[in-house]
Amino acid sequence: MILSDRQEGNICIIDIIGEITGTTARNKHFNSYIEKRLEKKKPIAIALNMEKVEAVDSFGLGVIAQLYQLAEEKKIGFALFQVNKDVFSSFNLTGINELASIFDTEEETLTSFAKKSKD
């Protein structure tokens, strides 16, 4: 798994390439990577770009749920976008799709947070 981050306005976007599994998430220190970005950038929201995520196992689903909880604790938005059909099926089966906002595109994600910040 390869992680990179970028800022779009006041939203932190994490681009993920590969699989989110127990092995890759632990090896890349996935949660601590994101926590450091949140502390450094102080965004109003975090969005995971899932376009190049090939698979998510049960550990990976747990990691995403933990990130959602972290966003809730910090009172910031959390979303996923460009989720492929197989990964979305896993989200649907486990209820992640009911926790997190899932968008088709990055533009939709950014627009949604822009609307929320105006409210």
Q: Find, among 53, 104, 54, 101, the residue nearest to 82 by Cα.
A: 104
Per DSSP, 23 falls in state H
**pTM for the complete prediction?**
0.90
CATH superfamily of 2-108: STAS domain (3.30.750.24)
The tens digit of pLDDT for each residue in 6-25 reads 999 999 999 999 999 888 76
The tens digit of pLDDT for each residue in 29-52 reads 888 888 888 888 889 999 999 999
Q: Show me where the domains of the chain are located.
A: 2-108
